[in-house]
Amino acid sequence: MKVAAIGVGLTKFGEHWENSFSQLFVDAGAMALKDAGIDGKDIEAIFVGNMSGGRFVDQEHISSLIADNCGLTPIPSTRIEAACASGGLALRQGVMAIESGFHDIVVAGGVEKMTDILTERTTQTLATAANQEWEAFLGMTFPGLYAMIARRHMHEFGTTREQLAMVSVKNHENAMNNPYAQYHVKITAEEVMNSTIVADPLRLLDCSPITDGAACIILASEKKAKEFTDSPIYITGSGQASSSISLHDRERIAVTDATVNASREAYRRADKTPGDIGVAEVHDAFTIGEILAIEGLGFCDIGKGGITTENGETKIGGRIPVNTSGGLKAKGHPVGATGVAQAAEIIFQLRGEAGKRQVDADVGLTHNIGGSGGTAVVHILEK
């Protein structure tokens, strides 16, 4: 059974002092319902991606909270957690619910409110997605983990500090034309390389920000979708894979095996190859992350992500435009919502609704990572 995305809604990403955690989801959900041309009575289930409401806003039982505040009780609501891949996995669960024939119309969404606590506690909360016994307990943070990955990639493949900076420069330029993005500021490679050191070789402008935001997508079976739209966007491939949560237990540090394996499954299910993808949203929580992603997804050979970026192949107008939204780096990274927001951008692109950042594509891909690579979720979307 084919699964279609018929409605999209998301909040602007950034610091939302005026909105509560649940209000963010309500706002995104209302936009998605309006976009789909349906109302709440048509929804049969909710899947909510959320990494850590308990630590960020002292709120657990997220599933009930969302259904209640959206006025969608008594329909079933399920919270999905996979660290920063929570949103992508919520989308996958929604797809599977429809493919199985269990439901015809569902909401797949994600939400996180990260700015209500001090940065130190946010960093500690994000570190819960790493191995507590062997990484976090010893003082390791995610910038530190990705810094080690970056250093290893530089050592093995000759990736340069300048190439890392080019990822950030490109994504900030793309975000200038995304009204939902947290940052609308162009930066230069020199500014990236001269920004404050966070964990060598990563600088402040190599790292995604702390962000509030929500995103929702209305999914429907093919039959139901045709009742509401003449131009649905189909999710034809979905893949998920796991890897060791700890860097020290992985066979390869400079390759994200979960990405490789999840993308293979998604390509197989969609009957597509990397060469068929016309636009991609990938997980660039740190600049090295985008380089790892384009390699693991097969857009270039392993070890060639840096030079591929340097050659402009991932820019809008390049061979494979990546992170036209601005990516996690400039659009923002409300961790539970990120994977759903990635799919929203691809839907905008395939509908031809991306404005000045529009590319010519019939097939798009999303790539969402949990932790430093312990989980990967990949989706392929088509007109």
Closest CA to 109 of 56, 72, 59, 58: 72
Which residue matches tokens 């404005």?
355
- Residues annotated as catalytic are 84, 333
Give just the sign of the alpha carbon dihedral 320, 280, 13, 225: positive
Helix ranges (H only) for 100-215 are 119-126, 142-157, 161-175, 189-194
Closest CA to 210 of 292, 344, 329: 329
Closest CA to 129 of 29, 246, 282: 246
Rg (the chain; Cα; Å)? 19
Cα 199 to Cα 123, 190, 374, 382: the distances in Å are 13, 18, 21, 39
Contacts of 328 by beta carbon, 8 Å cutoff, 6+ apart: 208, 283, 284, 285, 289, 338
Closest CA to 126 of 211, 41, 187: 211
Contacts of 208 by beta carbon, 8 Å cutoff, 6+ apart: 284, 285, 286, 327, 328, 329, 332, 333
Whether the upstream peptide bond of residue 74 has omega within 30° of 0, thus cis, is yes
Could you give the CA distance from residue 207 to residue 146 in angstroms, rounded to a whole number? 10
Could you give the CA distance from residue 107 to residue 66 in angstroms, rounded to a whole number? 11
